[in-house]
Amino acid sequence: MRHSPLAWVGPAMILLIAAKIFLGGLFLRAESSPAMGLALAEDNKKPREAAAASPEKPSIHSLKEKELALRAREQELKKKEEELIPLKKDIEEKLGELNELQMRLTSYAKTLAEREEAMKDNKMAHLVELYTAMEPGKAAAIMEKLKMETIVLILRHMKGKSAGQIIALMKPEMGAQVVEKLSQTR
């Protein structure tokens, strides 16, 4: 019986497949074993640690350059700070002057308002005196031609008897309006 040249391939092929499965299982077990996995992890970690542990050290020359640059910057800042001190004093003086001027202006405005009020009071006193000195009929005739606000102001500052005589001599409609306004405003 003669064997074909490929007959030995079948058993050889089976042997190769079995060897591959066996060896593949060994590698799988080695990777899944904690001790083996730890050893592999340590081996992988060493190159990373070596790279991290040895960062590029700055040279003494570059450190000195940085120190000189920082000192120069510090000197520049001190110089600018010294230049700003007189400016700060000037600003503070100007603010003081402005505050004083503002107080003087406020005082002046208050004085002007008081004088204006006094003048109004003097004018009103003069008008009251003028209308009181007139005959009530003539005063009523003149007042009827004035604005209602002016009539009310004058009559409010007059004594009651004089104001009553003037109102009594006004036209009834005008007298009623004046009395109405006098009762509303105080």
Asked, for residue 157, whether it belongs to a domain, the answer is: yes
User: What pLDDT was estimated at residue 156?
Assistant: 92
Asked, for residue 122, whether it belongs to a domain, the answer is: no
Cα dihedral across residues 62, 63, 68, 69: positive or negative: positive
109 and 142 share a domain? no
DSSP annotation of 104: H
| pTM (2 d.p.) | 0.43
Range of the domain at 84: 58-115
Asked, for residue 28, whether it belongs to a domain, the answer is: no
Asked, for residue 75, whether it belongs to a domain, the answer is: yes
Asked, for residue 46, whether it belongs to a domain, the answer is: no
Residue-wise pLDDT tens digits, 67-105: 999 999 999 999 999 999 999 999 999 999 999 999 999
Residue-wise pLDDT tens digits, 134-178: 999 999 999 999 999 999 999 999 999 999 999 999 999 999 999
111 and 140 share a domain? no
**Number of domains the chain is built from:** 2
Which is more confidently placed, 176 or 13? 176
Asked, for residue 35, whether it belongs to a domain, the answer is: no
